[in-house]
Structure 1
Amino acid sequence: MTVLPTRLFKVSACVAAFAALAACGEGSSSGAPGNQKARAGVWAAGSSTVFPFVTRVAENFGRNNAGGAQPRVEALGTGGGIQAFCSGIGPSTPDIANASRQMKQSEFDRCVENGVTDIIELKIGYDGIVVATARNGASFDLRLQDLYMGLAKEVPGADGKFVANPNTAWNQVNPNLPSQRIQVYGPPPTSGTRDAFLELGMAPGGEKVPAVAALKGDKARFEALTHTLREDTLWIDSGENDNAIVQTLTRTPGSLGVFGFSFLEQNMDTVKAETIDGVAPSIE
């Protein structure tokens, strides 16, 4: 599939309703009562994929709260947003962590350690992940295993042993793909979109490679192989800005990008999505 469904979460330590969060940041930080100035307005930070939606909510809230403090929205990536959210309570930390994946147990534990309790998880919608290229570029019909063989740090070698990924062109991965250099721009390790791509694209792709599938019984080894992207400049971390990836594709002929479906919808005049296992992305 091309559209990989992900869950988008808004996590708040205060209350469930966005409109009622205006006072959440007012107060002191954990362990240091009264030593910080009160902050007016809601502060939300996290996923770049969720950013456009939360920005729209913040704008609507601002229009309906004339004269009040306007919400602050930042794109730090899911991991960065949750890290800031879990660092304590009070005006120096966000009230809301926008995330394109569920909070990890280790992150939740860090929240609790820092006094961030009564966390509320609100699912606000579904997005998808696409693999795309410039509209005037060659078309791909990728298979899930092509994602793994093209982008994993280690792949099975001729003798069955795992080696550093030697594939530098897509037709080395699959002779039916264009004979152009592997060059993929995507989200960094702090991104929930990247986490979802690994879970929903790379891991299923690895399952279709016999030598990798044979290791499913060894969960740690299987996850290490399918969740570790190559580090030889053929996968390029592009920061917490999906729009920047879209713009890079139009300036870099032959490159591919991994980003949220909503950014594809907004830029159909300049980029196109590739099919995966013959399936094109759609709202459905």
Structure 2
Amino acid sequence: MKKLPLFIAAGLVVSASAASARDYIEIVGSSTVYPFTTVVAETFGNKTKFKTPKIESTGTGGGAKLFCSGTGIDTPDITNASRRMKKSEFDTCQKNGVKDIIEVQVGFDGIAFANSKKAEQMTLTRKDIFLALAKTVPGKYEGELMLNPYKTWKDVNPELPDIKIEVLGPPPTSGTRDAFAELALEGGCKAFPAIAALKDTDKNLYKATCHEVREDGHFIEAGENDNLIVQKLEANPNALGVFGFSFLDQNSDKVHGSIIDGSELSFDSIADGDYPVSRPLYFYVKAAHIGKIPGIKEFLTEFVSEDSFGEDGYLLEKGLIPLSEEQRESFRAAATNMTPMSM
């Protein structure tokens, strides 16, 4: 008599487990990589027996936090990133049991400083961008730093328009924000020898000076929604917006990118390495979920196929700048062999 309840209880456990199993891939992360992953997911869903993956745009930092929170069906399988995973994020993953992580570089993207086509195209240097948007800038005396006093672009550079500095950009959780700070702000920061020297003498002050964005209303955090930024640029032709080239490409009828250090933002200028504010794009896969969540291995195969991220792949239509053939082969091998990354 006692065995029957135990048998029934065991049956209930199995039933509950089956009911709680997830039969689709869950992806979070970068808003920049989101449109590329969405196209691959739709293609994958149409051509295989598996369900189309569920994708959420959380920002690179937000995606890493969710991804590294642990293993199990209540955590994402894949996270997109518009920069390489940070050592601190990797360490958090390891600490929480996310041990084997597969790293795949998707391609390249450029960061646009765009404004409405109702206004003239801006011609800027990274030095201009640093002086316009950094929290602290060089003062009157050698080595002096002061809170950013500049109100207009003309204050920054007499050759620029006499209009208010107003830039709509991503929040600190965004990989685009990280790349903006590292490539644009720090790139301009290095133009000042006294600040550049801090990298060897005071790394913390150097990073704070070269990466911190002003908080006095001239830089406005507009969230992870790039569509909203474009709408605001259309409404205010004097404003600039910061987002990825792929999104600029999709909205080329409404906005145009600034010329930076003499280079116009384009597919070719990023591919050639001429455009100075460009960055690699990635996604990361939780190896522990392969074989437990259906379709992950097959989704990887689709993403790293020549049809997808190759030189003539369908992702190029969305604005992706492809890797070299050698790089594609390397990341394809890592995905196919499920080779864990190392930091």
Counterpart residue type for residue 220 of structure 1:
N
Superposed displacement of residue 35, structure 1: 11
Counterpart residue type for residue 46 of structure 1:
G
User: Do the aligned partners of 1:186 and 1:259 also contact (CA within 8 Å) in 2?
Assistant: yes
Structure 1 residue 182 corresponds to structure 2 residue 165: yes
Aligned residues: 250
- Aligned counterpart, 2:309: none
- Aligned counterpart, 2:41: 58
Structure 1 residue 79 corresponds to structure 2 residue 33: no
Structure 1 residue 94 corresponds to structure 2 residue 76: yes
- Aligned counterpart, 2:151: 168
Structure-2 separation of matches of 1:184 and 1:239: 13
- Aligned counterpart, 1:25: none
Superposed displacement of residue 159, structure 1: 3.1
Superposed displacement of residue 125, structure 1: 1.1
C-alpha deviations, 1:25-80, integer Å up to 9, x for none? xxxxxxxxx799211110010000000000001111111234x4331001000000
Structure 1 residue 220 corresponds to structure 2 residue 191: no
Q: 2:30 aligns with which of 38, 43, 47?
A: 47
Structure-1 separation of matches of 2:51 and 2:253: 37
C-alpha deviations, 1:219-273, integer Å up to 9, x for none? 2211111110001111011111222212211111200011100111111111011
C-alpha deviations, 1:172-230, integer Å up to 9, x for none? 00000000000001111001111111111111100012332232322221111111000
Q: 2:246 aligns with which of 242, 256, 262?
A: 262
User: Do the aligned partners of 1:242 and 1:259 also contact (CA within 8 Å) in 2?
Assistant: yes
- After superposition, residues 182-201 of structure 1 pair within 5 angstroms as 182-201=165-184
Structure 1 residue 232 corresponds to structure 2 residue 198: no
Structure-1 separation of matches of 2:112 and 2:139: 28
Counterpart residue type for residue 138 of structure 1:
E
Larger of the two Rg values belongs to structure: 2
- Aligned counterpart, 1:16: none
C-alpha deviations, 1:57-115, integer Å up to 9, x for none? 1111111234x433100100000001000001111110001001111111111111111
Q: Cα 1:93–1:36, aligned 2, differ >3 Å: closer, same or farther?
A: farther
Structure-2 separation of matches of 1:210 and 1:250: 38
3-state secondary structure, aligned to 1:226: helix
Q: Cα 1:71–1:154, aligned 2, differ >3 Å: closer, same or farther?
A: same
Superposed displacement of residue 138, structure 1: 2.9
Superposed displacement of residue 147, structure 1: 0.7
3-state secondary structure, aligned to 2:118: coil
List alignment gaps of at least 5 residues for structure 1.
Answer: 1-33
- After superposition, residues 150-169 of structure 1 pair within 5 angstroms as 150-160=132-142, 161-169=144-152
User: Do the aligned partners of 1:138 and 1:254 also contact (CA within 8 Å) in 2?
Assistant: no
- Aligned counterpart, 2:116: 134
Structure-1 separation of matches of 2:77 and 2:187: 35
TM-score normalised by length of structure 1: 0.85
3-state secondary structure, aligned to 1:253: coil
Structure-2 separation of matches of 1:125 and 1:277: 23
Structure 1 residue 279 corresponds to structure 2 residue 263: yes
User: Do the aligned partners of 1:36 and 1:91 also contact (CA within 8 Å) in 2?
Assistant: no
Counterpart residue type for residue 261 of structure 1:
F
Q: Cα 1:131–1:200, aligned 2, differ >3 Å: closer, same or farther?
A: same
List alignment gaps of at least 5 residues for structure 2.
Answer: 1-16, 269-343
Q: Percent identity?
A: 51
Structure-2 separation of matches of 1:154 and 1:138: 28
Structure-1 separation of matches of 2:64 and 2:227: 22
Q: 1:105 aligns with which of 73, 87, 91?
A: 87
Superposed displacement of residue 128, structure 1: 1.0
Structure-2 separation of matches of 1:35 and 1:188: 39
Superposition misfits of 4+ residues, deviation over 4 angstroms = none
Q: Which moved more, 1:145-154 or 1:208-217?
A: 208-217
RMSD value, Cα? 1.5
- Aligned counterpart, 1:149: 131
